[in-house]
Structures are given as C-alpha cells and as structure tokens.
Structure 1
Amino acid sequence: MMIARPRPGEAPEVMGRTSAPRSHHFRGSLGRFATGVAIVTFDGAAKRHGITVNSFMSVSMEPPLVLVSIARTAKAHDELAGRPFTVNILGAEQRQLAMHFAGRPGPEPRWVEGGTAPRLSSVLAYFECTPWAEYDGGDHTLYLGEVVDFNYRNGDALAFANSAFTTIPESQLGMEDLL
C-alpha cells in the first residue's frame, strides 16, 4: 500500500488496495456519503412489507419520479415488482423504526392507509408512488415510481454515514432557496 504525503492539515490519501477485501473497502468508501434513511412500504400478495433503505433519490420533476434501490437479498424484494409503494423519510427520532424494518423487530409500527400504498405514521416526509419502471442494478433492483401523493412535516432528519445513524438538524435542511 502506498500513502501519499499529506499537505499540512490534510489527512493522508491511501492509494491502491488495502489489506481489507476490496468489496469491504468499496462499501466503506461509499459509506462516507451521508444519506437520509427511508422505509419503502407496500402491500404484498399475502402481507404488508417495509424495507429500510438509504438509496433514494428524486429523478424528475415532470413527471414527478423517484428511485429506490432495493437489494436482491431483501426478503420482500421480489414482491415489490409492479406494486404501488410509499417512500417514508424518517425523522431523527425514528431510528427504532429503521431498525425494525432492517431485520431487528421492535414494537409494531403505526400504519396509515394511503390512497395508493400504505405508509408509516408521523414520518418526516412521504411519497406515495405508482410503478413507473424497474431496472437491473447488479445485486440491487432500481425501482422508479411516479409520485401521486406526498407531504412533509417539520423536524430533524435521520441520516446514515460511516455505518452509523446521525442527525441532520432541520436548520440545515432549508436549502430549497439554493437549489
């Protein structure tokens, strides 16, 4: 491994492969990008599902489209295809809800019957979607949804960075004037 000499006040830059497996290093590198935390909810053939995700983005304003990336290993992955879904953006106080749908069950969440798909109560924001398209994404599937209903409330956002939950204060979220 080669380490470049840092300038004063800078961290050293690691060049080349590390002793950790390449996929672990790749995942760690991606983890440096802080993301919000969301739960994709939908009604499957036999039951209601929720999948915790941090791969969510807007795609288009007209028509309003969003994208979620779902691991093929997720238990409910196959049932999402072709179904309406809701992307629930979590508030900072909803860490337990994120863990519940990531495989560490806690108290049963409170559901809201959305007009298109079920959603979770008291989330920071939600986007109810009808299926638009889906794409192969290697070990994930990229699901695009057309947003048919949405809303938000005030509050701090739950975020994920460096393999840990963190909080983005609401005072840092008001960037709509900049975009």
Structure 2
Amino acid sequence: MTRELRDCLGHFATGVTVVTCEIDGVKHGATVNSFTAVSLEPPLVLVSLDRRSKACHHLDNRPFVVNVLKADQGDIAMHFAGRPAARPIPWDGTRIRDSLAHIVCAPWRSYDGGDHVLYLGEVEEIEVHQGDPLVFYRGAFREAGA
C-alpha cells in the first residue's frame, strides 16, 4: 500500500520549496513539497518533514524560511534533497536568493504526523518576485502551463 499511496499522491502537482534555518552560524535546508497555508489570522503555514531526516530536528523551536523555488532552480531543489549542486547555493542570510517567494516564520507549534513531523510557522515577513514556479508532478520537475 505504501508504494501505491505514494504513486497516487504523486498525481497531485505541487510547487517546490526549500525550508531553511540557521544553527550556530551554519545554514541548513531541506527540499519540501509538503507545504501549505493554514490560517490568515494568525498568519500560519505548515511544512511536513520526514522525522528520520536531519533537517526535521533542525526546525524544533527555531525560526525558518520557506523559499518557493523558480522553474530554473531544480538543481537547488536536488541539492537540498541530497544531490549536491554544481554551483554554490546563492544565500542571502537564510534565504535562497532569486527564489520566487520567501516566507519568514517564527516557530508556532509542531505535531506528530506519523512518520513525519508537522511544523507550523507564524509568518513574520513575506517577499515575492517575478518568475515561473518549479512544479513537481509524478516524481519529476515540470513546467507550469499557461
């Protein structure tokens, strides 16, 4: 059932984000497509991270940034999914430069989500740029239609 469920869920196209934070001056990130808006009042978003991942525990009670990736940032998504990029990551603090959007969050709550941990962040700052989104569908990056 696990593989069948994963394949079924893959039919839901998503944007691609990299969730970043900083610990003792070291930047950390994880590619996440399990990201959603939760509430406008208060402004809350949710990211879901596999509890076995290193990145999962980095978010415990720590501010984080959701970087919404542009169509040409597939190599950055792969870097934070465990396949190092050929080019250096273009950091701007804990933000990934030239992303489609940045959502800066304070920790709000975390919840048990089975084999994942659900992290809610209170949105403190947003920034939006022009461009096309990086889309993930059925196990591959795709271009968004017109």
SS at match of 1:52: strand
1:133 and 2:133 correspond: no
1:154 and 2:130 correspond: yes
How far residue 61 of structure 1 moved from its aligned partner, in angstroms, is 0.8
- Consecutive unaligned residues of structure 1, counting only runs of 5 or more, are 1-21, 172-179
Distance 1:152 1:35 in 2: 18
How far residue 46 of structure 1 moved from its aligned partner, in angstroms, is 6.2
2:31 paired residue number: 52
Pairwise CA RMSD:
1.1
Amino acid across the alignment from 1:111 = W
SS at match of 2:72: helix
Q: Which runs of 4+ in 1 moved over 4 A?
A: none
2:119 paired residue number: 143
Q: Which has the higher contact order (CA 8 A, sep 6+)?
A: 2
1:167 paired residue number: 143
1:93 paired residue number: 72
1:62 paired residue number: 41
Q: Which has the higher strand share?
A: 2
Q: 1:108 aligns with which of 64, 78, 88?
A: 88
1:29 paired residue number: 8
Distance 1:73 1:91 in 2: 27
Scaled by the length of structure 2, what TM-score is found? 0.95
| Within-5 A mapping of 1:73-92 | 73-92=52-71
Q: How many pairs align?
A: 145
Check 1:49–1:143 CA distance in 2 against 1; reply closer, same or farther (3 A cut): same
Is the CA contact (8 Å cut-off) linking 1:131 and 1:146 kept in structure 2?
yes
Q: Which structure: larger Rg?
A: 1
How far residue 47 of structure 1 moved from its aligned partner, in angstroms, is 2.1
SS at match of 2:106: strand
Distance 1:31 1:74 in 2: 20
SS at match of 1:168: coil
